[in-house]
Amino acid sequence: MIRRATILGVSLLAAAVAAAGDLPVIRHDVQVRFDLPANRVDVTDRLTVPAGVDTLLLNAGVALQSLSRRHPDGSGEQQEPAAAIGETAPPDTAIFRLPVNPGGNPLTAGEEMLVTLAYAARWAESTAGVAFSRENVGREIQATIADEGIYLAASSYWLPLADKALHTYRLKIVTPAGWEPLTQGERTQRLEKDGQLTTVWESDAPSDGLTLIANRYLVTERDFGGVLGATYFLADEPALVETYLERTGAYLEMYRAMIGPYPFTRFTTVENWFPTGYGMPGWTLLGGQVLRLPFIPTTSFGHEIAHNWWGNSIFVDAERGNWCEGLTVYCADYHYKELESPAAAREYRRTLLKDYAAYVRDGRDLPLRDFRERHSGATRAVGYGKSMMVFHMIDEAIGREAFLAALREVARTHLFREASWDDFLAAFASHGARDLTAFGETWLGRAGAPLLRLEAAARDGDRVTVTLTQDAAADGSAWPLRVPVTAATPAGPVTAILEMDGPRAVHAWTAPGATAVQVDPDYHVFRRLHPEEIEPTLSQILGDPAPRFVLPAGPLAGAAAAFAADWVEAGEAVVVDAAADPEGHSRILVNPDGATAQSLLPAPAQLAGGLLYLNGQRIDLATNDAVLAVPAPGRPGAADLLVFCRSGDRLAALAGRLSHYGKYSHLVFPVRGAALKGNWEAAASPLRADLPGKSKER
């Protein structure tokens, strides 16, 4: 199907280059031809380079065959390096630095240099062992050309890029017949002839690079109000196609209302043959296994569509901090919980605070202005979780209507331009009529989080008074806070907002018949939780950089060792005896003996022979695998992990599954069927107090 841009698409894209604002835009006219048996790609790229770009960056693993430049005044030079095609190898991390106008004066405003490059490369990077959906981002590939598929990431510099510049593209791609390539933009031509498929893709929306993929895809397309929705899947699965197309339409409608017009002419869901979870302009690339998880269409998939606004058309000014991931979580993952119920949204906020406590320790914190990208559980907890909570706290401070109006303003005024935290804060302050200067300086420029303490609480008649303190930050200053404090009364909860701009604050309000108070019971404030507020969860063990493994002997010893090796991802697993001092680290006990396990289990769980009784449910450990986070003996707030699995094959593969379940205390994986998930009860919160005060006489 060949489809032209809709009227909306034309109006958006016609303004795209102008909207790029202060960043220069390089135009590429590219011809790409693939030779699969040779793992080879041949590229000719004709670039129109404007003033402001002095150097082009190109992967150093290519064999540069020719390079020509033509200045606007007609002068030029020609180079033809005699470079041979190298052996098949992963792309080099080094890059060519190609001056746009060597020996000449920089281009002046309005001038353009015409640069033509011809080069070839052989890339066959193995996809074996690629890991994506882990707490620590595992091995990812940059470029591969093979019979199993073609993948060229923008970050491989397979096409020339430039610092602090954007790019638009026209690509003519030649692949074998039966293969369907896909990249950003719109497919304007498709011709199959003489065993080859030629397609033309045009991307007039400026971007910071271009990723290309091709495979033997089955393509389905559908129109959603002038936006083309499509699936590129590797198997004929009509029900799966229908699920993703239905969700595509629903999310496009949701985000048009929330943020503004969709900035591209299509959105395509592409299946990958190795693990990925990427969002590119107008498409997402999901590994086949993840694509088929039943919860993905209603969770992570919408997150990738939201990225088409945040990150793929409103760009991150990375030098001033990456706001994009936290805002996308706010608009997607967290918003879905809000739609589900207030209780689900509360639990989501609580989970983010638990993750921060579990992962961000031992010097692994950083200010939000220093966050660039996720590469560990700690950076995820800050750059995604803390960032989301900062947006949530602003939402609570200025109100939802003003908050969304500010988002729409930034989306409109920064379309195909860079935006910074400061641009968002200015919009929030304007629409919310609230000075956010101190808030921004503190929450963006400082690492850490406040720890709140309920110093005193009293009732005198209908008046309730609380005294709240916060631990000072590393520099001795306080965090600017709006802390909800709720009084329990016979008529229902009565909540007051306590404003804090110092280490101590006192607040009084009317709450007739109040019997107790609780500080921030719904977790609206990003803060460090007290150990008593946190039940043991898998995230506490996942957040330990060097857990100690207690492994069994006997027939499952090899599988247990494989489990431990997969858990640590890199380096050697530290294996100890059950009686050894863990030196402050969590222990992971695989198939422990019954007496050891029973001594660690909390009250809701009991072990009897080969049976586990969990919250009154009888679980046969011969046909079910069980994983339980339990309190670590003698270490308040810390956790150990018990793993029960009687199958070597299942045990060896179990570690890779558990990173998806960090927020839970206990998991049961039946041989067939869905996992059973749950949490222990947390201890009593130190931020709650009863009120034995005098009642007002009537």
Q: Is the dihedral of CA 419, 420, 422, 427 positive or negative?
A: positive
Q: What's the CATH class of domain 538-678?
A: alpha beta
The pLDDT tens digits for 544-554 are 889 999 999 99
The pLDDT of 443-459, averaged and rounded, is: 95
Using left for φ > 0, alpha for ψ between -120 and 50, and beta otherwise, residue 523 falls in: left
Beta carbons within 10 angstroms of residue 195's beta carbon: 8
Tell me, which fold does domain 7-216 have in CATH? Immunoglobulin-like (2.60.40)
Q: At what angle do helices 387-398 and 421-432 cross, to 10 degrees?
A: 20
Contact 166, 24 (CB under 8 A): yes
CATH topology of domain 452-534+686-690: Immunoglobulin-like (2.60.40)
Q: Which residue has the higher pLDDT, 674 or 484?
A: 484
pLDDT digits (tens, 9 = 90+) for 256-265: 999 999 999 9
The two beta strands, 227-233 and 218-224, are antiparallel
- pLDDT tens digits, 530-574: 999 999 999 999 988 899 999 999 999 999 999 999 898 778 999
pLDDT at 86 over 80: no
User: Over the range 399-412, which residues count as b (16 or more CB within 10 Å of their CB) and which as e?
Assistant: eeebbbbbbebbbe
Question: What band does 369 get if pLDDT is binned at 50, 70 and 90?
Answer: very high
Q: 7-216 with 452-534+686-690: one CATH topology?
A: yes
Q: Indicate the SS3 state at residue 558.
A: helix
Query: Exposed, middle or buried, 604 (CB in 10 Å: 0-12/13-18/19+)?
Result: middle
CATH level 3 topology of 314-445: Neutral Protease; domain 2 (1.10.390)
3-class DSSP assignment, residue 565? helix
Rounded CA-CA distance 655/560 in Å is: 10
Taking alpha carbons only, the member of 257, 253, 211, 249 closest to residue 230 is 249
Tell me if 264 sits within 8 A of 308, measured CB to CB.
Answer: yes
The pair of three-digit structure tokens given for residue 449, joined into one six-digit string: 């989080």
Which band of pLDDT confidence, cut at 50, 70 and 90, is reported for residue 673? confident
Question: Which of 109, 27, 114, 24 is closest to 75 using CA atoms?
Answer: 114
Contact between 301 and 251 (Cβ < 8 Å): yes
Q: Confirm if 177 and 196 have CB atoms less than 8 A apart.
A: yes
Q: Which residue has the tokens 């065959």?
A: 65
Tokens at 521, concatenated = 């019971």
What pTM did the predictor assign? 0.88
Take residue 467 and report the two structure tokens written for it: 């005294």
Residue 682: pLDDT band (50, 70, 90) is confident
pLDDT band at 362 (very low <50, low <70, confident <90, very high): confident
All structural domains of the chain with their residue ranges: 7-216, 314-445, 452-534+686-690, 538-678
